[in-house]
Amino acid sequence: MGRVALVTGGTRGIGAACSKALKDAGYNVAASYAGNDEAANAFKKETGIAVFKWDVGDYAACEKGVAAVEAELGPIEVLVNNAGISRDAMLNKMTPEQWSEVMRTNLDSVFNVTRQVINGMRDRKFGRIISISSINGQQGMLGLSNYCAAKAGMIGFTRAVALEGARKGITANAIAPGYVATELLSGVSEKVMEAIVGQIPVGRLGEAEEVARCVVFLAADEAAWITGSTISINGGQLAD
């Protein structure tokens, strides 16, 4: 049996691609999700990957959720912090609820879930913590102050945890994808989509599977000397 990997928000979009790629690479994968039972059950039926429902923005729920995963599959050795939402608005019109919802799901969740697995990783002297940030955590974007702040926070968190885990066999890295063809972009107009693609030197959106391949690489034993890094996958849109 392979190492146990948990992917938060792991039943849709980039998370689903990560879950599938890790399973194909031999990991025993658990995928958490927040509320779409129909999509989660369809994903489980299609892939055979175990799914677990809880709110990653709730610390107590994360305690129970991680305990359930480990009771069923064993100790979590690879964590992919992927769960995320967007609530877009210009700052002068953004509500406190829009701000707090994004920070809770996109950033608080990274602490909430990582905190549950870090001691076990330290005890076993092995761990891989991979957080899915964004190109918008590396640059600003109109109407996304909440999202940009959360994704930038993930990068700072990653760097600190990398230092803390370095002597314990734990690596922590972030991946910052550019614009990827997922349902997050499904409501974008054709005109806006043309503008987005026009900013990408390779001339296309990314694919979720391209991000997932990077996750599998960072999760491997052979990636032990890569830690505290942010890997940009954006088709050349932002040189890092």
Instruction: Kindly list the catalytic residues.
Output: 147
Q: Which of 114, 135, 140, 239 is nearest to 184 (CA)?
A: 135
DSSP H helical segments within the chain, as ranges? Answer: 13-24, 37-47, 59-73, 96-103, 109-124, 145-165, 190-198, 208-219
The SS3 assignment for 79 reads: strand
d(CA 111, CA 116): 9
Which string of b and e fits 216-232 if b means at least 16 CB within 10 Å?
bbbbeeebeebbbbbbb
